[in-house]
Amino acid sequence: MAYVIGEACISCGACVAECPVDAISEGDGKYVINAETCIECGACANACPVDAPAQE
């Protein structure tokens, strides 16, 4: 399952540069992950200050 960014996201952008496949972009009120390209590496979760990305 791809990672999904939850409502805790504060749109800091820290995760974007950590994603090896550029799957993260700014969305409406929070950042979003493209489930088609996410390779489930977990780098975004490790970089996030509020633990917003998670596998559902």
The residue among 10 and 56 lying less far from ligand SF4, judged by its C-beta, is 10
CA distance 55 to 2: 6
The amino acid at residue 55 is: Q
- How many beta carbons lie within 10 A of that of residue 48, not counting itself? 21
The pair of structure tokens assigned to 21 is: 């496949």
Q: Which of 28, 31, 32, 56 binds ligand SF4 (CB under 6 A)?
A: 31
> What string marks each residue from 9 to 28 as x (binds ligand SF4 by CB under 6 A) or -?
xxxxxxx--xx-x-xx----
Closest distance to ligand SF4 from the beta carbon of 17 (Å) = 10
